[in-house]
Structure 1
Amino acid sequence: MTSTPPPGYPPGYQPAPYGFPPPPPHPEANSAMVFGIVGLCLSVMCGGIGVFIAPFGWIKGKRVMAEIDANPSAYGGRGNAQAGFITGLIGTIFGALYLLFWVAYVIFIIVMLFVVAEETDPTTTFDSINAMLSSRI
């Protein structure tokens, strides 16, 4: 075999490889990936706000992967759908943990305010301040 092209073809011509072309990507694979990545970024950087967006990437990625697995010759793009599923799952977990932290923090502050309000008697505080001031004069 020689590496020269057959007569009538331009130099550098390479025949097309045998086989079938790859299937087109699923129309919703990229949107699942975008939802997952945006949800993860918002969950990590914005204190849990991504918990409202990340589940869309998680659910859509799972559905698109199931559709691609059911008919792999019709759709491609499983990698993008899988990325959306994984990042959506991680973003949902991080967002839920951040929201749980903030709820626990607010409850802690409210409980501490009530505890301090019950223990503090304003007349005792003023009497102790007056006693301290009078002892220094």
Structure 2
Amino acid sequence: MSFERPQDYPRYSGTPNPDQVHGPEPTRYVLQPGYQEQQPAYGVLRDNSNATVSLVLGLIGLCTFVLIASPFAWWKANQALREIDANPGIYNNRGMAVGGQITGIIGTVLLALFVLGGLLLLFVLIAATGGN
């Protein structure tokens, strides 16, 4: 049976590892000249306004049948997702952007179907009246 001697243990140097005490340093991004740095405090996440706008537009498009808002919801959601993915650890509402993207896609498909149906109905009515 072998016993480890105390001198075989690593000694405590008195200075803790900074990564274990405070965590890693937040990522700093290079800003264009003339812009102020708007990084939130470490650990504080903020909402992306494009994600909120996209979800609101998508819900307006689906719930009120103002389907013209749906392509704009899809567009704003794609913008928001690009911003959120480009700045990890800054924004916390990726789910709202995904929800805006989904509602925007559904509304855009419905809008396209209504437009195609209206055109088909117009051609049927023109053919039924004899083209006069």
Task: Give the TM-score range, shorter chain.
Answer: 0.5 to 0.7
**3-state SS of 2:120 partner:** helix
Matched residue, 2:33: none
Task: Give the Å deviation of 1:40.
Answer: 2.4
Work out whether 1:104 is the aligned partner of 2:120. Answer: yes
Matches within 5 A, 1:66-85: 66-85=82-101
- What TM-score, normalized by structure 2, do the two folds share? 0.63
For residues 28 and 73 of structure 1, the distance between their equivalents in structure 2, rounded to whole angstroms, comes to 17
Please provide the CA RMSD for this pair.
2.2
**Deviations, residues 46-72 of structure 1 (Å, cap 9, x unaligned):** xxx51x210110010011011101112
Q: Structure 1 residue runs of 4+, over 3 Å off?
A: 19-22
Matched residue, 1:33: 55
Name whichever structure is richer in helix by fraction. Answer: 1
Task: Give the Å deviation of 1:85.
Answer: 0.7
Who wins on radius of gyration, i.e. which is larger? 1
**Deviations, residues 54-99 of structure 1 (Å, cap 9, x unaligned):** 0110010011011101112111210111100111011000111011
For residues 30 and 24 of structure 1, the distance between their equivalents in structure 2, rounded to whole angstroms, comes to 12
For residues 79 and 22 of structure 1, the distance between their equivalents in structure 2, rounded to whole angstroms, comes to 17
For residues 56 and 88 of structure 1, the distance between their equivalents in structure 2, rounded to whole angstroms, comes to 7
The gaps in structure 1 that reach 5 residues or longer are 1-18, 44-48, 118-137
Identity %: 35
- What TM-score, normalized by structure 1, do the two folds share? 0.61
Work out whether 1:92 is the aligned partner of 2:101. Answer: no
